[in-house]
Every structure is written in C-alpha cells, then in structure tokens.
Chain A
Amino acid sequence: MTDFPRDAILVVLETSASGVLEDAAPGLLGAAAAAGTPVALVLAAPGAGGSAATEAAALGAAQVLIAESADPAALGVPGVDALAAAAERVRPDAILISHSLNGRDLAGRYAVRSRSAVSADAIDVARDEEGVVAHHSVYGGAYNVASTATFGAPVITVRQGSIDARAAAQPEVSETLTVVPSGKPAARIDSFEEVVGSSSRPELRGAAKVVAGGRGLGSQEQFELVGQLADALGAAVGASRAAVDAGYIPQSHQVGQTGVSVSPQLYIALGISGAIQHRAGMQTAKTIVAVNKDGDAPIFEVADFGVVGDVFKVVPQLISALEARKK
C-alpha cells in the first residue's frame, strides 16, 4: 500500500471518450499544487487509464489513482463510487473537481454521500492555518467571497479557465484503484457523438482568448468577421445573447449570465453593447477590448482598450496588422 502525502489535495480528472484528459486538468493540478500535494484520481474511458495517468503526472500529479469504469454507459454513479474509494484511501485536505456539468454532478453526489461541505464555482484555491479555502467571484464578478468547510475536506469545483498557475511535472507514480460499485441507480448513456470541431478553434469554455460578436455584426454572414479575428489570434468564438437570438450563431457560443461564463486572458467584444447579463459572463477576463460604434455602450465601462468605431473597418485592419507582424 502506498502512503499518500499528509497535505494531499485530491484532484479528479475525467478523460474524454477518446481517452485524453479534460481541458481543465492543467488548471486543476496547478490550483492543487498551490494548496498542497496534488494526487490525481483519473476517471478514464476503458483502456485509457495508463496514458491518462502519464498525462496527469506530466501536469503535476505526485501520485495517480486510475479508475476505469466497469460500466461506462452508467451516467455519473461510477465516478462517485470511484471518488468515494479514492478519498477513503488518500484522506485529502480538499477535493478539486472541474465545475463542468459532469464535475458538478460528481461533486454534488459525492458531497451528499460523504456528508462533506461543497464550495461551488471557485476561481482560486488557497491554504491558511485552518485548512483549504475556496475563493469565488459571485453575482457576475461584483463580489469576492471566500468559503471553507466547517470540518473535513471541502469538495471544491473550480471554474474552467480561471486558474493560471501550473504545477511542475512529476515522475509518474500510479496505481489502479479498487472500486466497489455502490449499485445506486444511474441513467444510461445510450449513445455518444463526439463533437468533431468544424474548425480548429478552441473550445469557448476555458479558452485563453475569446473573440465575441454581438448584434452589431448585422447578419450571420457578417458574423464570420468574428471568426476571422478569432483565427488570427487563436481564440475561441463567443457571442452575446442578442447575436444568438438573432440567429447569427448557435446558443452554445453564448457568453453571459445565462450562457457560458469565461475568464480568459483576453476578451474582445465586437459590436456588443455590454448588457449586465453579458458582462456577468466575461468581466473576470484579464484584459478586455471592445469595439463598438456607440461610444456610450456600457461595454466601455469595463474595457481596458476601447475603440469607438465601425467593426467592419477596425477589425479587418486589425487582422491585417496582426498578419503583417507574423511575417
């Protein structure tokens, strides 16, 4: 039996169906390293545990427990069973999970089962004399809140893309975790279709750079300008609710209170007025750039660099200037 570090932070990492670790993995391990010694639990697709463990060690996991689901069609429950077994073995000071849909389900079920306290949607994790503390940005970034558990290891979900810290690579120390299934009823995953990105653009959630367009783009065809700038910067494409409602782009690209919340290094808002609901989903971005015809648009209140001008003039010039620099 391996011994686990006394200041272990258990980090749960999911793999995709094709076996690679989720995008949130580097940030989760980075956050864990700042608060203790990262120990990873890899919830892997069958056959993918070994490679995922190697990946986790390279991202900073000092030790890796591998759990390949015996019943991959069961939704959620096998992951909870694995986490319960892992926490029992590792006895961590905190458990970190991505604030993704699956991560939230896992955190919620596990917290109930283990009678643990849960801190949701953290943007940073730290340790003080008392234990591990989660930091949150609430009400669309208007308030900073710190939370912790009354006792025991808190279960903390971490907002995707919010952690910049990265952990140093560790030599791989991994073992397969023995999991006794709880037999709890679970929904079935009847089929799965992997999204084959129609372009090489990064996923909006967790992207380091986001270029977003609003109703100011005027039409679905003209919205492609957003994509062109995104490609020039290697950014993901986002949109305001107005642009989604106008049918310029699918809802999965919506940034805001009711869409995706993003905390990228760079957020460029094109033709977006910046209603409160939109700002709520993006104002924790490190740098915000806005281009809008209307100099009174509220987006300028949060912009680090604002251009009052026509997106159809400014953006093409920006793209060619960026391309000229690359040469």
Chain B
Amino acid sequence: MKIIVLVKEVPDTYGDRKLNLETGLADRAASDVVLDEIGERALELALKYADANDGADVAVLTLAPEGATATIRKGLAMGADRAVHVCDEALLGADLGLTAEALAAAIRRQGFDLVVTGNVSTDGSGGMIPAMLAELLDVPHATGLSSVEIGDGVVSGTRPVESGVQQVSADLPAVISVTEALPEGRFPNFKGIMAAKKKPFEVLTLADLGVAADNPEMARSIMLTVAEKPPRASGVKILDEGDAGDKLADFLVANRLA
C-alpha cells in the first residue's frame, strides 16, 4: 500500500501573518513557519495504518520554496518513509490550478494507492486541492472525512455535510481529505529525528515533472489588488455597573439587531 500524504509549510497562526503588499505573496520572513496541523493529522492517519500493516509505504509530499526543507523533515521525523519536495522558482505565486497540476504530476510519478490531505490549509483556505487532484489523477475523491477506515482496496469514512452526515466509500486508488476531528499528529521522538536524516528526500522541479508554469491554454487566477485592511476600530467599552445587560439590549435594538 503506497500512501502519499500532502503536507504544507504555513505561517504560524499564533503569530502575525503578513502579505507583501507589492507582490501580494505571503511574506515568509515576517512570521514563524510550521507544518500545518491538519497535514500532521493526515500523516498520523497514514502512520497509524503503517504501524498496523506490513508493507505500507508512507511518503510526504509538499510544494514549497527552497527554505521549507526543515519543516518537511518533521514529517520524516514523525515516521514517514520518504519525502518529496516540489520546488521551482516558477511556482512562486502559483494559483490553485498550477499547484494541483504540479502535485498531481509528482503523485503520478511516485505511484499511489491512497492520497491523504488535510481538508483546508490554515493559510490558503481554498480547500480545493483534494478534488482537483482526484480529477487530474482520474480517481474518486472522498473529502472532509471526520473518521477514516482504510481497508483492503477500499477507503471509507464519515463525511459531515451541510444537511447531515454521509457514510462514503471509495475504491482505491483514491484521494481523501480529513478534518480536525482526526487525532493529532504524534510528536517526533529522538530516534525519529535521527532516522529522518537518512531517509530519502527527493527534490523535483517542474521540468522533472513535465509541467509548464506558463501553459497558455490554462486560465490562471491572478491577483489584481491587495490591501491591508485598517485594523478594526474598537468601539464602546463599558464596565458593568449592574445595568450593562440593559445597555446592551439598547445597543442591539438601536442597531436593529434584536
């Protein structure tokens, strides 16, 4: 069973996150970067399966600038067997379509039974890469799973949607994405950190993958403007002197909110 887990380096949400107002790109120097927590949960799912089943091969795959090596290595330290890093200058500012194309090419090159991703990253929050990959790889998608069962040739799980809860299943190969309801990723231990240094770590460029960043037949999403929003001005703040509930009711009524 070959499982590929998508991981992503993101600005830590515990700190301030900045966009460069000239390029519209994430200002990576402005904030600490971490392995996105949802990707760690996706990896944990794969590692748990590998713990219980012989012959499972777990690879972490990421698309990120050059500096992301250390963050990706955390995935190896947690227990992944291999890492694949898609890295190319031409991917700077890549939109969802180009990102999906490059990732799909890397996945195809590795070969896979199951691709596991987080449902939404904390920085982009597009949440579309899983379905895009499924379309590009010509396999089923089962997204937003709050529980997952990996069986023999089939993956199944619980999928909460707007109006209720679905039980879904897909024949392998397939792409799944998981939600925060899944268990947290394990902490890398010392042995894992040491072992990570010896594990295969492949770096691929777009040329290696046969993907053209500037394919004129593909429509791309472009940023027109980017502006920092003025910080929200704080309004009235009152200290409760026994009548704050009434004053709050007045405020809501005056603003037609109650």
A positions within 8 Å CB-CB of B = 16-18, 22-23, 75-77, 80, 99-102, 104-109, 111-113, 115-121, 133, 137-152, 154, 157, 184-195, 203, 205, 209, 232-233, 251-252, 257-259, 261, 265-266, 276-277, 280, 283, 287-289, 291, 295, 300-310, 313-322, 325
Contact = CB atoms under 8 A, between A and B. Distances in A.
Interface of B: 13-19, 24, 37-38, 95-97, 100, 119, 122-132, 134-136, 138-144, 156, 159-171, 174, 180-181, 217-229, 231-232, 234-240, 242-249, 251-253, 255, 257-258
A232 B248 CA distance: 14
A262 B159 CA distance: 21
26 contacts: A75-B168, A101-B119, A104-B127, A108-B129, A115-B218, A118-B221, A137-B229, A139-B19, A139-B123, A144-B225, A145-B225, A148-B221, A148-B222, A184-B138, A186-B170, A192-B164, A194-B163, A209-B257, A233-B258, A258-B180, A276-B15, A289-B248, A313-B244, A317-B243, A318-B245, A321-B245
A192 B219 contact: no
A280 B220 contact: no
B20 to A, nearest CB: 10
A144 B226 contact: yes
B18 to A, nearest CB: 8
A113 B245 contact: no
Nearest to A120: B126
Nearest to A142: B229
Contact of B234 (A190, A302, A325): A302
Given A191-B167, A321-B245, 19 more contacts: A75-B170, A77-B140, A106-B131, A108-B128, A108-B131, A115-B218, A115-B219, A137-B229, A143-B226, A145-B226, A185-B139, A187-B168, A188-B168, A203-B162, A276-B14, A289-B252, A300-B234, A314-B240, A318-B246
B24 to A, nearest CB: 7
Contacts of A192: 164-167
B140 to A, nearest CB: 4
Given A120-B125, A187-B140, A193-B165, A150 B220 contact: yes
Contact of B19 (A143, A157, A209, A257): A143
Contacts of B136: 112
A246 B160 CA distance: 22
Nearest to B176: A187
A295 B237 CA distance: 9
Contacts of B126: 104, 118, 120-121
A309 B234 contact: no
Contacts, number: 298
A151 to B, nearest CB: 5
A144 B227 contact: yes
Contacts of A76: 131, 141
Contacts of A321: 245-246, 248-249
Contact of B134 (A109, A111, A209): A109
Contacts of A148: 221-222, 224
B197 to A, nearest CB: 31
A17 B164 contact: yes
Contacts of B141: 75-76, 105, 109, 187
Given A118-B221, A316-B245, A295 B144 contact: no
Contacts of B232: 283, 288, 301-302
A314 B6 CA distance: 47
A320 B249 CA distance: 9
Contact of A251 (B122, B128, B181): B181
A147 B224 contact: yes
Given A108-B130, A147-B222, A310-B240, A118 B164 contact: no
